[in-house]
Each structure stands twice: as C-alpha cells, then as structure tokens.
Amino acid sequence: MTRQKKLIIACDGESASGKSTAAKLISKKYKLLLINSGLLYRYASKLIIKHKPKNQITFVKNKFKNISYKKISKQNLHSEQISNHVAGLAKIKKIREIVNKVQISIIRKNKRICVEGRDIASKILSKNPKYDLAFYFKCSLNVASYRRWLDIKKKLPLKEVKKSLKKRTLTDKNRKHSPLIRVRDSILIRSDRLTKKQVLLKMSSYIDRLKTKN
C-alpha cells in the first residue's frame, strides 16, 4: 500500500458562507482529518452558559486539558444561544490561546488534514506547519441568512437570523486578536454563485494540480 503524501488545507470564511459543508466534502474525497475550529469555541460557550463559572479562562483551560475533538464533533452546538455567546468569547485572547493550543496539537499529529475556521490560514496554519492550500469563502448576506434559517428549522424569524449573522461577521473582522482576514494567496470560493458540486470541483482542481506538482 502506497503511503499518502502530506496535504494540509485551510478553509476560512464568514458565518454561513458554506465553508463547513465544503470542508466536509473535500475531507471525505481526499481522506483528510477534518477539524472545525468553530466547534471548539462553541463547545467552550456551551460549557460556560451551562456552568456560569466565575473565572472563564481557568474554567475553559481545565475543561480543555484532556479534550476529545471526536466527542465534541458529535454534539449539537449550533443553537442561537450559543451563536450569540460565542462571538464575544472568541474575542478573548486567553480563550483563543487555549483553543489554538488544542488545534495545533491535533494538526501536528496529522499530515493529512483540513482545518476550517476564521483564522486558520492567517494564524493557525501560517507556519509550522503551513497550509499547502488556503481557501476563503464568501457568501451574500441574503443567501447566507436563508441557509442558516433553514439549518435551524425556521425556529427564528429570518430577519433575526440575518441581523445575527451580520453582527457576527462584523465582530469577527474587527476583533483585536486574530481577526477574520483573507490571506494573499488564498483561493476565493463564492458559495452563493456555485452549487455544492461546483464548489467541490473548483477546490478539487486546485488540490489535484498541487498533487501533480508534488
């Protein structure tokens, strides 16, 4: 059996921009370990909402000491309560350092991996190890809001979902620590103009080209 070559993919983008779906499709096609950094922050938010600790930093640090990403990935962490809480939590430098440490530990143990989030190419995979390819996802607010509205089974008015997404993206782009930015060599994916199949084909074309070079 031939040994598979290293492949490290970074997927960054705005809320509900389609990056999670695309990362799943790519990971499945190329047999990559998929890490969704947003789930780690959402899990931290869930714990804080539930336990209301006096010191959030110490609390999260202790909870993340022997964390199992596999268990986290199986939980439902996309409630509107968590979504509203996590934007503020992700701005805290000490929290980001705890989550980053967990991510980097997983990444360094896996040479074939796809990591998605908001600071993956600019921070997490900027060096040691560095991404082989970086993708940046954009989607119009109207399309993104409608998709998220369907995801939450229309439990909230579409207008509220739109307002929440707009606020989250502005928070992500303007936060002091590790803001959402598009790195210079990233490949833009406009998921509002492409079907899932077209997104997969576009991403695959770049990955296959890279594999040919190597």
pLDDT of residue 62: 96
Q: Tell how many helices (H) and how many strands (E) occur in the chain.
A: 9, 5
Q: Which residues of the chain fall short of a pLDDT of 50?
A: 1-2
Contact criterion met (CB below 8 Å) for 118 and 3: no
Q: Residue 162's closest CA among 181, 141, 178, 192?
A: 141
DSSP 166-209: HHHHHHHHH-SSS-----TTPEEEETTSS-HHHHHHHHHHHHHH
**What is the reported pLDDT for 138?**
96
Q: For residue 151, what pLDDT is reported?
A: 85
> How much is the pTM?
0.89
The pLDDT assigned to 53 comes to 97
Confidence at residue 1, expressed as pLDDT on a 0 to 100 scale = 37
Give the pLDDT confidence score for residue 212 in this predicted structure.
81
Question: How far is the C-alpha of 3 from the C-alpha of 136, rounded, in Å?
Answer: 29
- Report residue 196 as tokens: 């899932």
* Interatomic CA distance for residues 181 and 191, integer angstroms: 17
Residue 151 in tokens:
């995801």
